[in-house]
Structures are given as C-alpha cells and as structure tokens.
C-alpha cells in the first residue's frame, strides 16, 4: 500500500541499584546502523538529503511503565512511504534525557513467495565431497499453480524431451516423451506416486498442493538467521543478494538451507516485479544417503504468473497435430483441453519419480 510501520514492545528488569526515570516520555527511532556500529548510528532518513526529523524519520514518543523491578514499553508509528530496509538497520530506544538504553537489530523476514510462478531451475549437484566424481548440472523448466493443484516439469537433452505433469487432487501423474522412436510424442498416465504426493502436499490429507513457501522449505529447528547483503565475491550470478539460513532436521539428518534474494533496489528491466527467489543452497555433512550434500539451485527468469493455463494440458505439449502414443486421452491439438480427471485412460502401476 506504499506505507511502512514501526511497531515495537519491550520489557526488561532492573537491578536493585538501578534507577531509571519513567516520569517523562521516552522515544524510539529506526536507525541507519546495526547495534554493534556506534550503538545504531544516526537516524534512518527516508530522504537522505532531507531533515533529521518529522515525517522523514521514524519516531515514536511513548510513556514507559514501571512495575516493580521491570520496565515495559510499547508503541508504533506509520509513514506514507516504503522504507528501504537495506538501509533501515536497527531500532533504538532513548530515555527522556536522550541516553540510548536499548537497541535491537532489524532482521528482515524471508520475502513472500508467489503461489503461481514459472522458472528455469539450474540444479548443480556437487558430489565431490561425497567421494564421487558423479557431479552434474540439471536444467528444468517448472510451472507451479497452487490454486489448481498443478505442477509441470520439463527436461530435455540433445536426444529427447520429457514432460511431467502432476495434479494432487486427482492423484494423477502424466509423463510425456518425444524422441526418434516417438516423434509425435508418447504420453503415459499413472497414479501419482504416494511419496511424491506427500512431498507436494507436505503430508496433508486434503490433497491440496502447498504454498510456494511450504514447497521450498521445511519447518526450521530455530528461527531463520539473517546474514545481510552478500559481499561482492559472493554475488549470485553477478547480483548482490540478501541471505538467510535455516537449520532443518529431516528424520535423523540435519541440513542447512541458504536462501538468496536480490537486494530490494535491484530491478528487472521492463518488468513490474522484483525480489524473486534467486538461489537455494542445501548443505549437510551427512544427508539421507549417509554422504555429504552440497546442492545449488538457481532460479532463472522466475516470474509470478503463468501466461496460459493451457500449459497444463497434456494434449498441447508437442503441438504436432497428431494423436499421441500411449494411454492418455489426447487427440489432436485442436481438441478441447481435458480436465485433470479425464487426463488418462487408466494406467497401471505407479511411476517412479
């Protein structure tokens, strides 16, 4: 909405010898440095060339309360602009005489992720630390649409092209191949493998595909840790990014997830969106196979929309104008798009993912 709000609350105890005046109002401000740098440094100024006061800063005047040996305070203020949180670093509380008594670093939460998106994902699977020379790169184009519970994954090589479509409500998996043997395409319909269904729904019983945030992450063992802006030698594909980490336990195995998003000032030319997910790194000293894990997933051309829902129609994947081989209920390219319930003609068995 083009607004920013500072909201805070605190409570701390006093030792027997401490005295603090709560008869006069205290103040809280957003500052431009972290607490370990000059106790927060100067005030955050929205207009860096503007006045250090008024609507150009975040200032809350409030009355602190004393209850026994405890001091408590709360307050908020709203400004009619979007603060640059790359510059807003901390909140500092001043007592009546101006002394800084409290400082708290601002740690941005992970940016929100859209539940409709498409992206090319470059996965780099590094197995050298696991004692294997079998390290590789994999490129996939993915479309994700939580509202209709659809996911599509495309992979290709010099010799063939493969498409997988999944719908968790219908519990269906469509696999499609096109190569020299099947130049017009082969389409196979199967029940969605139970373990993949559990993964996509995060174990839910309603068969609804989960949000993107739930899809890309697991519940952490502790709150996410914010690491600030990457140094120049750590730029992701040349882009300065903000980094968060999350410790995750799956079964008996422990993993470290790293999430990278471009800084808020980094724009995508001629587009109205920015701050899309840029990279995810997964690390473990001992993964589920008992070996070290080091995986890099780069999200390239990630956009928060799907231009045509026809992308989930298996009949329109290859557009050859000819019937597909296999057991899918697909005719010619100009046939109406079948709903997921009518995708297949009843395949047998489950398809391994």
Q: What is the pLDDT of residue 349?
A: 33
Q: What is the pLDDT of residue 243?
A: 92
Q: What is the pLDDT of residue 103?
A: 96
Given this model, what pLDDT does residue 344 score? Answer: 38
Using alpha carbons only, give the angle 260, 264, 269 rounded to the nearest 5 degrees.
100
Q: Look at residue 330 in the predicted model and tell me its pLDDT.
A: 62
- Give, for all 353 residues of the chain, the pLDDT tens digit: 578 999 999 999 988 778 888 999 999 999 999 899 999 999 999 999 999 999 999 999 999 999 888 999 999 999 999 898 778 999 999 999 999 999 999 887 788 788 899 999 999 998 876 566 688 888 999 999 988 888 899 987 766 788 988 888 888 888 888 888 888 888 888 887 766 655 665 555 555 666 676 666 656 777 788 888 888 888 999 999 999 999 988 878 899 999 999 988 888 887 777 789 999 999 999 887 788 899 999 999 999 999 888 888 887 888 777 777 887 766 443 444 455 554 433 333 333 32
DSSP 200: H
Q: Buried (b) or exposed (e) across 258-272, using 16+ Cβ within 10 A? A: ebbbbbbeeeeeeee
| Letter string b/e over residues 148-165, b meaning 16 or more CB atoms within 10 A of that residue's CB | ebbbbbbeeeeeeebbbb
Q: Which residues of 97-111 are buried (b: 16+ CB within 10 A; e: fewer)?
A: eeeeebbeebbeebb
With H, G, I as helix, E, B as strand and everything else as coil, classify residue 215. Answer: helix
Q: What is the dihedral of CA 180, 181, 187, 190, to 10 degrees?
A: -120
| pLDDT at 348 (0 to 100) | 33
Dist CA 6 CA 29 (whole Å): 9
Q: Is 195 exposed, middle or buried (0-12, 13-18, 19+ CB in 10 A)?
A: exposed
pLDDT for the residue numbered 104? 94
What percent of the chain lies above the pLDDT cut of 90?
A: 40
**HSE-up of residue 347 (Cα within 13 Å, Cβ side):** 22
CB atoms within 10 A of CB 326: 20
Rg of the chain's alpha carbons, rounded to an integer? 26
């Amino acid at each position: 909405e083009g607004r920013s709000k500072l909201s805070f609350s605190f409570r701390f105890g006093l030792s027997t010898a401490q005295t603090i005046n709560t008869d006069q109002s205290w103040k809280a401000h957003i500052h431009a440095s972290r607490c370990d740098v000059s106790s927060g440094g100067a005030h955050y100024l929205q207009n860096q060339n503007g006045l250090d006061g008024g609507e150009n800063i975040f200032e809350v005047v409030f009355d602190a309360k004393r209850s026994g040996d405890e001091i408590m305070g709360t307050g908020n203020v709203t400004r009619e602009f979007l603060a640059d949180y790359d510059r807003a670093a901390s909140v500092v509380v001043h007592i009546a005489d101006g002394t800084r008594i409290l400082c708290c670093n601002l740690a941005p939460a992970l940016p929100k992720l859209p539940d409709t998106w498409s992206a090319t994902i470059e996965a780099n699977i590094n197995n050298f630390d696991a004692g294997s020379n079998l390290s590789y790169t994999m490129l996939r184009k993915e479309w994700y649409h939580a509202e209709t519970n659809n996911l599509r994954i495309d992979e290709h090589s010099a010799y063939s092209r493969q498409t997988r479509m999944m719908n968790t409500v219908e519990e269906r998996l469509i696999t499609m191949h096109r190569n020299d043997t099947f130049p017009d395409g082969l389409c196979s319909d199967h029940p969605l493998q139970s373990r993949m269904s559990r993964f996509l729904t995060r174990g839910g019983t309603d068969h609804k595909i989960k949000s993107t945030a739930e899809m890309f992450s697991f519940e952490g063992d502790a709150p996410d840790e914010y690491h600030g802006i990457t140094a120049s030698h750590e730029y992701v594909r040349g882009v300065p990014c903000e980094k968060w980490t999350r410790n995750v336990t799956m079964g008996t195995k422990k993993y470290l997830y790293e999430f990278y998003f471009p800084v808020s000032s980094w724009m995508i030319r001629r587009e109205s969106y920015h701050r899309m997910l840029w990279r995810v790194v997964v690390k473990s000293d001992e993964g589920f196979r008992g070996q070290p894990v080091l995986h890099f997933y780069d999200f390239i051309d990630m956009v928060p929309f799907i231009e045509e829902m026809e992308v989930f129609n298996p009949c329109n994947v290859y557009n050859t104008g000819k019937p597909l081989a296999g057991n899918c209920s697909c005719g010619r390219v100009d046939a109406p798009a079948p709903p997921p319930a009518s995708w297949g003609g009843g395949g047998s068995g489950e398809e391994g993912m």
